[in-house]
């Protein structure tokens, strides 16, 4: 014999509870149907669309990268013409070269915006797989040494060198205020992007001014080069130092060529831009190096450099850790 049960009619409160539970279930089903809509998830789905297992270099990639079909790229997307946004799209030298490399690798290189001085930390925390952001290859970065303190802060990175550039100075057009090279900057105001070679060079030159009993350079460091340009445009500083491609582009396009002028002659401290890959990722590093080499051989590298008027920065040979 089984115990008898009596069904009681649902109260208003219980009916509401049932309805609420049903709503939760329905919403979960809807989310499941729609899929994860985060930026990372969307990027992964797009990557799978672009994944090409028959690409020439696909088998060179690490297995986890093959499966994802994606590399997350850390980049400061405010650095015309190297990388910048135009009508919502990411454009420039680095994105165009990355697209050419993608065809050889069979995966997507997905650019993520960040301020330049956070990129190395992003690699260390594995937020990004690589960094491609007009980053100068230096021994300090290779060894994971902080340029300000001289202390080791990480394992460092390997660089795949793909452009050879230097830093340039520019002033307001027709208002050089006596600035005609680094030796004329003592006592002047200079804007730079924080954490760049220009920033390091400015600090070194300022110390040299003081050793020679001259006023130091008043250095203003900004999160991005656009802010430094705005400061110069409004007369807040006497000059800006940027990598040559960026300086040349700013002089050419800002105010239709009427805002700035180059000073000081040829770019100083020529050094390679490198794609930064965390130490210990040799297989990924070698696949990326091979991809750059293939873009040079098939002509797509030259087309990108010609498009952005930086063909003089072309490398003849792709080196690893060629910076000093």
Q: What pLDDT shows up at residue 276?
A: 98
More confident residue, 158 or 23: 158
**How does DSSP assign 26-85, residue by residue?**
HHHHHHHHH---SHHHHHHHHHHHH--TTSTTGGGS-HHHHHHTEEEEEE-TTBTTTBEE
The helix (run of H) or strand (run of E) holding residue 300 is helix 300-307
Predicted pLDDT of residue 6: 40
Instruction: With a cut of 60, say whether residue 36 has pLDDT above it.
Output: no
Q: Is the pLDDT of residue 47 over 80?
A: no
Residue 22 has pLDDT above 60, yes or no: no
Higher per-residue confidence, 31 vs 94: 94
Question: For tokens 């301020």, what's the residue?
Answer: 115
Interatomic CA distance for residues 168 and 265, integer angstroms: 8
Q: What count of other Cβ atoms lies within 10 Å of the Cβ of residue 92? A: 25
- List residues bridging with 160 in a β-sheet: 275, 320
The whole-chain average pLDDT of the chain stands at: 88
Q: What is the pLDDT of residue 27?
A: 53
Are residues 161 and 273 in contact, defined by beta-carbon separation less than 8 angstroms? yes
Domains of the chain: 51-165+271-320 (3.40.190.10), 167-270 (3.40.190.10)
Report whether pLDDT(176) > 60: yes
Structure confidence at residue 58 (pLDDT): 98
Residues in the chain, how many? 324
pLDDT band at 21 (very low <50, low <70, confident <90, very high): low
pLDDT(255) > 50: yes
| Coil, strand or helix at 268 | strand
What's the rounded Cα separation, in Å, for the pair 246 and 140?
Answer: 23
Q: pLDDT, tens digit, for every residue of 99-152? A: 999 999 999 999 999 998 899 999 999 999 999 999 989 999 999 987 777 888
DSSP 8-state symbol, 129: S
* Per-residue pLDDT at 259 exceeds 80: yes
Beta-carbon contacts of 58 under 8 Å, excluding residues fewer than 6 positions away, are 52, 66, 105, 106, 107
Report the pLDDT value the prediction gives residue 2, as an integer from 0 to 100.
37
* pLDDT digits 0-9 by tens, 71-84: 999 999 988 999 99
**Which range (118-122, 185-189, 263-267) has the least confidence?**
263-267
Mean pLDDT along residues 157-176: 95
């Amino acid at each position: 014999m089984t115990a008898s049960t009596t069904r009681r009619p649902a109260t208003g409160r219980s009916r509401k509870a049932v309805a609420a539970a049903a709503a939760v279930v329905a919403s979960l089903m809807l989310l499941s149907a729609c899929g994860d809509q985060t930026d990372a998830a969307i990027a992964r789905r797009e990557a799978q669309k672009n994944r090409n297992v028959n690409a020439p270099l696909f088998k060179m990639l690490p297995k986890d990268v093959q499966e994802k079909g994606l590399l997350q790229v850390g980049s400061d997307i405010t650095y015309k013409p190297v990388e910048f946004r135009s009508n919502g799209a990411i454009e420039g030298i680095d994105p165009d070269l990355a697209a050419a490399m993608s065809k050889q690798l069979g995966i997507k290189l997905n650019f993520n915006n960040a301020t330049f001085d956070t990129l190395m930390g992003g690699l260390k925390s594995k937020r990004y797989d690589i960094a491609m952001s007009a980053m100068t290859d230096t021994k300090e970065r290779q060894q994971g040494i902080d340029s300000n303190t001289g202390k080791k802060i990480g394992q460092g990175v390997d660089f795949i060198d793909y452009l050879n550039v230097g830093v340039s100075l520019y002033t307001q057009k027709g208002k050089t205020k006596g600035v005609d090279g680094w030796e004329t900057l003592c006592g002047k105001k200079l804007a730079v992007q924080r954490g760049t070679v220009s920033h390091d060079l400015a600090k070194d030159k300022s110390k040299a001014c003081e050793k020679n009993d001259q006023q130091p350079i008043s250095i203003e460091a900004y999160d991005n080069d656009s802010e430094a340009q705005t400061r110069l445009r409004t007369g807040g500083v006497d000059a800006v130092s940027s990598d040559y491609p960026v300086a040349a582009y700013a002089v050419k396009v800002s105010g239709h060529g009427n805002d700035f002028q180059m000073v000081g002659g040829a770019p100083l401290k020529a050094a390679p831009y490198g794609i930064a890959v965390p130490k210990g990722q040799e297989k990924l590093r070698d696949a990326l190096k091979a991809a750059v080499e293939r873009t040079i051989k098939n002509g797509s590298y030259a087309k990108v450099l010609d498009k952005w008027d930086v063909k003089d920065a072309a490398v003849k040979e792709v080196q690893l850790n060629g910076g000093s």
